[in-house]
């Protein structure tokens, strides 16, 4: 820490992203990226159509917003394009939360919410998930503030039905609810088509998972025109050229190939079922997942010991050292070949019988 750091940030604990290792080649099952590369044709077309780099990118991402809105029957004015969905989420904390309107989110959810709240000096309440990690909206009844809801949730992978969220929106018209749908394409229902009906709803999505563009950094927010205008005011205050030209062009090309995205999600779904069965056969307890990852624990090894043992065998998974979930690991769904390698490594690790659970 330098002596120049603002006193405001001296206690800030930043978000810790999953490792992106250089050097040894790992099978990366730790940050829920897509195992499928961006299509060659998408790369070629995007490069060809991209705005010349000596010019600034379109600060409004106009064409992209319109194309994205089209997927859900929305106009470009109901869409905000962002540098990854983290930017959209951070803008939502900046724009819609303050001392009077704190943030509400589950105790087990995407770790960035707590960090964004802290960085923006927003007070927050973490509402415990139920014992089985399910989320009951009734637990938020009577609480003041903007609700941040990852649906499906991470790292649990569990989802609420759209109908439940719609009921909540209808019953709480004066409370903003932000639904983070980073994993929605893998098997749950999007709330994006509801934003016209519910001015108290903001939906956030990303192209980092189902659409293979994690490195390009592209995310969106969907909401009523007023909400999007407010977010844009803040965006223009901090990052007017937030989406670079190459990413805008890539996003447009990917949007033209919705069938490919659907097909890739179907394959991930199949591989996920295979992985869940494989883990259960090896004695794991696996939460029901609607995402491109599974959250699982073994009663034969601690979560941390398993994470370390897999790492030594060249497989990265994600372990979170927080009390309610430290027995678990979050495992991204990769290619079938990668999941077979995982099976081999797990079989070896468990038979080596290292660091039994009880010793932790």
Q: Which residues bind ligand PMP (CB under 6 A)?
A: 84-86, 110, 150, 154, 180, 182, 206, 208, 214, 219
Which CB sits closer to ligand PMP, 84 or 145? 84
Q: CB-wise, 206 or 244, nearer to ligand PMP? A: 206
- What distance in Å separates the CA atoms of residue 328 and residue 318, rounded to the nearest whole number? 9
On whether the CB atoms of residues 102 and 124 are closer than 8 A, the answer is: yes
Q: Taking the complex as a whole, how short is the minimal distance between the CB of residue 84 and ligand PMP, in angstroms?
A: 3
- Tell me the C-alpha distance between 249 and 39, whole Å: 13
For residue 128, the 8-state DSSP code is: P
Give me 19's structure tokens.
Answer: 């490792």
In the bound state with ligand PMP, the residue whose beta carbon lies nearer, of 195 and 216, is 216
Question: Are the beta carbons of 175 and 147 closer than 8 angstroms?
Answer: yes
Residue 210 beta carbon to ligand PMP: minimum distance, rounded to whole angstroms: 11
DSSP 207: S
- Minimum Å gap between C-beta 110 and ligand PMP is 4
Q: Of the two residues 250 and 305, which places its CB atom closer to ligand PMP in the complex?
A: 250
Cβ 29 vs Cβ 316: under 8 Å: yes
Which is nearer to ligand PMP, 214 or 239 (by Cβ)?
A: 214
Alpha-carbon dihedral angle through residues 349, 354, 357, 360, given to the nearest 10 degrees: -130
**Could you tell me the smallest distance in angstroms from the CB atom of residue 300 to ligand PMP?**
28
User: In 3D, which of 70, 78, 64 has the Cα closest to residue 226?
Assistant: 78
């Amino acid at each position: 820490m330098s002596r120049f750091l603002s006193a405001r940030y001296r206690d800030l604990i930043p978000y810790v992203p999953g490792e992106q290792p250089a050097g040894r080649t790992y099978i990366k099952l730790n940050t829920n990226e897509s195992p499928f590369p961006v299509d060659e044709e998408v790369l070629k077309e995007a490069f060809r159509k991209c705005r010349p780099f000596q010019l600034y990118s379109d600060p409004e991402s106009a064409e992209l917003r319109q194309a994205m809105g089209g997927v859900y029957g929305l106009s470009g004015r109901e869409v905000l394009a962002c540098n990854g969905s983290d930017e959209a989420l951070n803008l939502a904390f900046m724009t819609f939360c303050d001392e009077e309107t704190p943030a509400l989110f589950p105790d087990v959810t995407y770790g960035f919410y707590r960090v964004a709240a802290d960085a923006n000096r927003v007070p927050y309440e973490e509402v415990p998930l139920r014992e089985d990690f399910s989320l009951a909206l009734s637990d938020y009844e009577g609480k003041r503030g903007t609700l941040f809801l990852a649906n499906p949730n991470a790292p649990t992978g569990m989802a609420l039905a759209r109908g439940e969220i719609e009921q909540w929106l209808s019953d709480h018209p004066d409370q903003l609810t932000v639904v983070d749908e980073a994993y929605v394409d893998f098997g749950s229902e999007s709330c994006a088509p509801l934003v016209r009906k519910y001015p108290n709803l903001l939906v956030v999505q990303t192209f980092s998972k189902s659409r293979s563009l994690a490195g390009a950094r592209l995310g969106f927010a969907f909401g009523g025109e007023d909400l999007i205008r407010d977010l844009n005011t803040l965006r223009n205050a901090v990052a007017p050229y937030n989406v670079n030209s190459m990413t805008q062009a890539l996003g447009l090309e990917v949007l033209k190939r919705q069938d490919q995205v659907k097909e890739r999600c179907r394959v991930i779904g199949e591989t996920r079922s295979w992985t869940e069965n494989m883990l259960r056969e090896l004695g794991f307890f696996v939460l029901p997942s609607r995402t491109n990852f599974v959250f699982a624990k073994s009663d034969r090894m601690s979560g941390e010991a398993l994470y370390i043992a897999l790492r030594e065998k060249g497989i990265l998974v994600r372990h979170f050292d927080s009390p309610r979930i430290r027995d678990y690991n979050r495992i991204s769904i990769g290619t079938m070949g990668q999941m077979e390698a995982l099976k081999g490594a797990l079989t070896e690790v468990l038979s080596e019988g290292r660091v039994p659970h009880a010793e932790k």
